[in-house]
Amino acid sequence: MLITKTTGDELTPEESKLIDELLKLCGKKRTRNLLRNRYYDGKVLAKNLGVSLPNNLVSLTEVCSGWGAKAVDALAVRSRFDGFAYPGRIEDPLTSVLRENNFYDLYRQTTTSELTNSCAFLTVSAGDPDEDEPHVIISAYSARNAAALWDSRKKRIKAGIVITKYSDTPSLSGLLQAPITLKPPTAVILYTDTDTIECSLAGRAWRVTRTENNFGRPLMEALIYKPTLEKPFGTSRISRASMSIIDRAIRCAVRMDIAAEFFSAPQKYLLGGEEDKVRKQSKWDAYIGNIFGIGRDENGDLPVYGQLPQMQLTPLTEQMRSLAAEFSGETSVPISSLGVIHDNPTSAEAIYAAKEDLIMEAEKLNDTNGNALKNIALIALAIKGECRSIWDMPDKWLGVMPRFRSPARLSMAAQSDALMKQVTAIPWLGETDVVLEELGYTGDQIMRMKSQRISAKAAGTFGEIAQQVADNEQNQTPAQPEGVQ
């Protein structure tokens, strides 16, 4: 069997040390990940420098920014998973697995978490049909609740952990010695090359359930954004530079709100008037234009009434436009998508050029995520086929590759024109499913179209045969003798 589950085991010293190390790593990264999530959720308020914003006014102005979410979502929506493809013309054996795990939505959620926190994790396990579970369970975890160690020699995860439940008490003792800055965990799952170990706290004792596997690797895969040699688990779209620009943009927005409140009413002045009479008028009365009379002064001169010029918000709007351009350069998000008025592109080519950097980012994201999804698919296929290892699977399954829809999102007319030219140059391309995929049809739509095409072709062939049989019977009808009616 591929997996063997046992209950009541104890952790080895190496496994306890590994759990402790991974939980320390998770606790170390958790604070920073929570900060990035606050930027994504728009919950970061103005950071006052104490120069131009009064403290009492900053506390009253709850101005926030959605640029953090825009940096993540603008790229996430361009990475659209569209199922798996295999060599030859075979149906996807993972169709039911993807449907039961709602994997298309799960991938979109995982990608959002990946771009926010630099990485996210997918795990695979065998389900229990007796408990009304799918035969194969694919789960996703954000970097806030999971951590892993990287094996630089094998170019994959060495070991990983996910936290599935936290305690309401401030501290625990026993299995977990790692300092956790927030609520300590009461249920964790450890993934190693040979086992998947579930640890849950029952009272003051830990219950350990061990699931052995023959894969030779953890049943855990990381989706990583822009990995490097120094940072194998990637970097976040909400980088330090992005957070700094967002902070400056929020302060600029606060100054705009305060300026609009102060200078929405024109500033008036009165020179040479009787102060007692002026003081009797409230500021609101002066603003709405109530008539008040003031006599001449002791020298017989009339008082001088005037109005100060109103403050213009143009310098602040120009600063906001400059910050939007800086943020666009940092994240490749078109400046027009940041809610800032900018020069409109004059052609479809100009519009595409404005999004070219973001499209290239999406293509790189699909490449790195595709490698992780291929490993997830191989593990899921092995579990579904009840193979002893990945290499015991049928050869036709080993070539599985994830399929993504084009991130460019060209217009249907432009895409059709380009494909027409390619099919004209290479006619046999028209016989492949790739052309339909490039036109934007999903895997389900392609299957339906092919099925209906086969049915229509079979119906047409049957009609031709029936007509031919009828013609033959008519031709073979013996001629009647003359005079017989």
Backbone phi, psi, residue 242, to 5°: -65, -45
Instruction: Tell me what pLDDT residue 170 has.
Output: 55
DSSP annotation of 131 reads G
CA separation (Å) from 414 to 65, 78, 220, 357, 406? 36, 18, 41, 20, 13
CA separation (Å) from 124 to 371, 453, 476? 15, 36, 67
- CA gap 264, 131 in Å, rounded: 65
| pLDDT tens per residue across span 378-399 | 999 988 887 777 777 888 888 8
Instruction: Tell me what pLDDT residue 395 has.
Output: 81
Q: DSSP characters for 461-476?
A: HHHHHHHHHHHHHHHT
Tokens 């940092």: give the residue. Answer: 330
Q: Which two tokens stand for residue 227?
A: 């990995």
- CA gap 143, 151 in Å, rounded: 18
Instruction: Tell me what pLDDT residue 472 has.
Output: 66
| Nearest-10 Cα torsion for 129, 134, 136, 142 | -130
CA within 13 Å, CB half, 208: 15
Instruction: Quote the longest CA-to-CA distance of the chain.
Output: 144
Among 225, 25, 32, smallest CA distance to 120 is for 225
Other C-beta atoms closer than 10 Å to the C-beta of 15 total 19
Residue 159 · residue 148 · CB < 8 Å = yes
Q: Which two tokens stand for residue 28?
A: 């170390």
Spatial strand order of the sheet with 119-126 comes to: 136-142, 119-126, 220-224
Other C-beta atoms closer than 10 Å to the C-beta of 56 total 7
- CB-based burial label for 326 (10 Å; 0-12, 13-18, 19+): middle
DSSP annotation of 68 reads H
433-453: buried (b, 16+ CB within 10 Å) or exposed (e) per residue? beebbbeebbbeebbeeeeee
- CA gap 373, 367 in Å, rounded: 10
- CA gap 89, 417 in Å, rounded: 27
Tokens 């625990």: give the residue. Answer: 172
| pLDDT tens per residue across span 154-187 | 999 999 999 998 887 655 444 444 444 457 888 9
Taking the alpha carbons at both ends of the chain, their separation in whole angstroms is: 81
Q: Which two tokens stand for residue 153?
A: 């020699």
- CA gap 435, 403 in Å, rounded: 13
Which amino acid, 94?
L
Which residues, given as ranges, of the chain have pLDDT below 70? Answer: 1-9, 48-61, 89, 169-182, 262-302, 305-311, 341-354, 409-419, 428-431, 434-447, 449-467, 469-485
Instruction: Tell me what pLDDT residue 223 has.
Output: 97
